[in-house]
Chain A
Amino acid sequence: MSVALPTRRFAGIVAKVNAFLLIAFVLVLAFLGLVAYKQGWFVHQSPIHFVTANALGINKGMPVKLHGFTIGSVNDMELAQGGVDVKLLIGSEYLRRIPQDSRAKHARESGVIGASVIDIVPGKAERALAEGAQISFEPARGINEIIDDFRRQAIPAFNEVKAAMSQVGHAGEDVTQILANLRQEVEQLPATHRAIRKLVEEAAQATADVSKQAAVTLDAVDKVSRTVDRTIPEVSEKLVSTLQSIDAAAVQARKTGEEVQLTLRAARPLVEHSEVAAREAGDVLGAAKRVWPLSDSFKETSDGLLPIDSFEAEGKGRSR
C-alpha cells in the first residue's frame, strides 16, 4: 500500500535535511574543537621531571606554577630508584623562562589551607632548562614542623613569665607577713601607753611619800618633784605624738598592703589565663589536625610501619 504525499509541501526536503545535518556536524566539530582547545591539546608541551623520596600530597593533574602563574601540570608519577619519579608537562613557551638551576617545591596557594601546587622556584643560571631535564625537589614544610618551631620559641617565654609572676607572688606574701606583724605591734601600743601613765602616777605618788618621810630633804625633793612635774607632761606629749605618727604609718602601710594584694589578685588571673590560653592553643591545633581541609597538611610522613626493633628479640616485647 502506498501513501500519496502532497508534492508541494515536501518540495526541497532533501536540501533542508542536508542543511540541518551539515549545521549539526559543524556544531559538533566546533564543540570538540573547543574541548580540545580547553584541554590544551593544541599547545605544545615539554616534559620535565623530578624525583622525591615521598610523593604524599602530589597528584596527577596538580597545577605547576611559576611566579604564581600556571604553566603546566603533573602528568605522571611512578615508583623509581630512591622514591617516586614525578613527570611534569610544561607549556613549551614557558620552558625558556625556567633557568637550569631552578627547583620545584610542593606548596599551598594560601599558606596551609589553599590548594596544593608544584611551585617552580627559578634559579639564577643563564641557560634555560632543556626538555626532559630533571630538576631538584623540595618537599613542603609540614605544619607539625611549624608548630614545633613555635612551641620551641614560645615555651621558654612562657616559663620566664611564670617564674617572674611566681617571684612577685612570693614578694607579696612577705609584705603581707610584715604588715601582720606591724599590725600586732600597733594593737599593743594602747596597753604600753596605759603602762607608762601608770608609771608616771606611781612616780608622783612615790614623790609625795618621799616628801612626807624626809623633811630634811624636802627642798631637794621639792626641786626634783617640780622638775619631774615639768618634764613628764613634755615626755607624755612627745610620746602621744609619736604614737599618733606610728598609728598613721600603720594605717598607710595597711592601705599599701591592701593595694599590693589587689594588684596580685588582678595579676594572678592573667598568669592563669596565659596558661589556659597556651593549653587551649594546643587543643585547637590538635583539633585542627583532625579537621578537613587541614588534615592533609598533618599527615605523617612515614610509611606507617611500626618500628622493627632488635630489642624485641630479647623476649621483652610482650611486657610493653
Chain B
Amino acid sequence: MRWLAAGLMALSAAFTAGCGGGKATANGSNNTSLSQSRLTQAETRAAGFTKSGDYQNAARQYAEALRIATTLENADAIAANAINLSVVSQWLGRDNDARAALDAVLTDSHTAFSERRKIQAELRRAIVELGGGNTGAAAIWAGQAQQRCSATNCEYAAGILNVRAQIELDSGRAAEAAQLAQSAAERSRSSGSRVESANALRTLGRARYAQGQPAAAIEPLKQALEIDREMGDPRKILADLADLSRAAEAAGDAAAARDYKERGLAVSRAMNGGRGAPEAALTR
C-alpha cells in the first residue's frame, strides 16, 4: 500500500508542478506582454503624432518607447526608437537631443545591436552633424557607416554616398562631390530608392554649378524636380526650383530663371499658408 500511495503522491506532485510551472511561465509571459503592449502603444501613438505633424508629442512618445524598450533589453526596439527620436528631434530643431538619442545605440557597447541598426544610427548621426554644419564630425560618422555598409552590402549605400557628396560640396571640393553624387545616383537607381536618387541628382546639379558649369547642372536638377514632384515633398521641390533658377540665370536664360523663381515663390507661399514667403531659399 505504501508504494502505491507514494507513487500516487509522486504523480500528483509532478502534475501539480507541471501545472504550476505552466502558470508561472504564463504569468511571466503576461508581464512581458504588458510591457510589450505598452511599447507597441507608445510606438503607435508616436507614429500617429508624426503623421499628423505634432512632432512635440511624437518626440515624447518615442522617448517613452525608447525607455520601455531599454527596460525590456530589446535591442532592435531600442535602436529603432532612438533613430526615430533623433529624426523627430532634428525636425524640431533640437540637434543636441537628436545626437543624445543616437548615443543610445552608438555609445552602448553592451547591447548587441544588429549591423543594420548600427549603420542606420551612424548615417543618422552624420546627417545630424552635417545639418548642424559640423562637416568634420559628419565625415567621420559617414566614413564609419560606409565602412560597415561595404562589409554587409547594405541598402543605405546611396544615402551614405549622398551625405559624403554633400560634405565634399560644403568643403569646397565640387569635383569630388560631383563624382560621389554620380555614384550615389547610379547606386540609388540600381537599388530602386527614388528619394536618394533625387537627392543625388540635386547634389550633382549643385556640384556642377559650383564647378562653373551651370548649363550642365540644369538637366540633373530637372530630373530631381520631376522625381520630387512625384514623391510630393514641397521642401525638396522648393530646393530644386531655387537651384534651377540660379543655374538658369548663370547659364544666361533669364526667362527660365524668372519662371523657376516665380514657381518657387508660389510653392514657398503655399507652404507658409499664404502668409508671405521666406524668399531666402530662392535668393540664397
* Interfacial residues, chain A to chain B (CB-CB below 8 A): 14, 17-18, 21-22, 24-25, 28-29, 32, 303-320
| A310 B15 Cβ-Cβ under 8 A | no
Q: Please tell me if the beta carbons of A304 and B47 are within 8 angstroms of each other in the complex.
A: yes
Main secondary structure of the interface of A (DSSP, over half): helix
Question: Please, which residue of chain B has its CB at the minimum distance from the CB of A319?
Answer: B235
Residues of chain A lying within 8 A (CB to CB) of residue B4: 18, 21-22, 25
Chain A residue with the shortest CB-CB distance to B65:
A304
- Picked from B88, B130, B163, B196, the residue with its CB within 8 Å of the CB of A306 is B88
Q: Which residue of A lies closest to B169 (CB)?
A: A314
Cβ of B5 under 8 Å from chain A: yes
Instruction: List, sorted by A's number, 5 A–B pairs whose CB atoms are closer than 8 Å.
Output: A17-B1, A28-B11, A305-B80, A312-B128, A318-B92
A21 to B196, CA, bound (A): 77
B138 at interface (Cβ–Cβ under 8 A)? yes
At the interface with chain A, which of B119-127, B215-223, B257-265? B119-127
Bound Cα distance from A316 to B233, whole angstroms: 12
B236 and A311 within 8 A (CB): yes
Cβ of B7 and Cβ of A25 under 8 Å apart? yes
**Is there a chain A Cβ closer than 8 Å to B87's Cβ?**
yes
Chain B positions 80-100 with a Cβ under 8 Å from a chain A Cβ: 80, 83-84, 87-88, 90-93
Which residues of chain B have a CB within 8 Å of any CB of chain A?
A: 1, 4-5, 7-8, 11-12, 15, 43, 47, 50, 76, 80, 83-84, 87-88, 90-93, 120, 123-124, 126-128, 130-133, 138, 156, 159, 162-163, 166, 195-196, 199, 233, 235-236, 239
Task: Report how far A313 CA is from B235 CA in the complex, Å.
Answer: 13
| Main SS at interface, chain B | helix
A303 and B11 alpha carbons, distance in the complex (Å): 47
Which chain A residue has the least Cβ–Cβ distance from B236? A311
Please determine whether A303 and B15 come into contact, CB atoms closer than 8 angstroms. Answer: no
Contacts of A14 in B (CB 8 A): 1
Task: Kindly state the separation between the CA atoms of A320 and B52 in the bound complex, as whole angstroms.
Answer: 12
Which residue from A21, A311, A313, A320 sits with its C-beta under 8 Å from B138?
A: A313
Q: How far is the CB of A241 from chain B (nearest CB, A)?
A: 67
- Contacts A305-B84, A316-B235, A316-B239 given; does A310 touch B159 at CB 8 Å: yes
What CA separation (Å) do A139 and B180 show in the bound complex?
A: 37
Pairwise interchain contact B93-A318, C-beta atoms closer than 8 A: yes
A25 CB to closest chain B CB (Å) equals 5
Number of residue pairs A-B, CB distance < 8 angstroms: 97
Task: Evaluate contact between A309 and B195: CB separation under 8 angstroms.
Answer: yes
Q: State A206–B235 Cα separation when bound (angstroms).
A: 89
Give Cα A320–Cα B127 distance, bound, in whole angstroms. 15
Q: Is B8 a contact of A28 with CB atoms below 8 Å?
A: yes
- CB <8 Å contact, B126 and A313: yes
How far is B47's CA from A307's CA once the two chains are assembled, in angstroms?
Answer: 12
- Point out the residue from A21, A29, A308 that lies within 8 Å of B5, measured CB to CB: A21
A318 lies within 8 A of B91 (CB)? yes
Whether the Cβ atoms of A313 and B131 lie closer than 8 Å is yes
A18-B1, A25-B8 known; 15 new pairs, CB 8 Å cut-off, are A14-B1, A21-B4, A24-B8, A28-B11, A29-B11, A304-B84, A305-B83, A306-B88, A308-B159, A310-B199, A311-B236, A311-B239, A312-B127, A317-B131, A318-B90
Give min CB distance, B249 to chain A, whole Å.
21
The interface residues of chain B lying within 8 Å CB-to-CB of A29 are 11
* B223 CB to nearest chain A CB (Å): 15
Tell me, in angstroms, the Cα distance from A32 to B233 when the chains sit together: 64
B166 touches A313 (CB 8 A): yes
Q: Which residues of B contact A318 (CB under 8 A)?
A: 90-93
How many Å from the CB of B162 to the closest CB on chain A? 4
- Are A320 and B235 in contact (CB-based, < 8 A)? yes
CA distance A201 to B93 in the complex (A): 96
- Interface pair B235/A32, CB less than 8 Å apart: no
CA A318 to CA B156, docked complex, whole Å? 22
Instruction: Contact check, B91 vs A310: say whether CB atoms are below 8 A apart.
Output: no
Contacts of A303 in B (CB 8 A): 76, 80
Q: Which of B43, B88, B239 contacts A314 (CB 8 A)?
A: B239
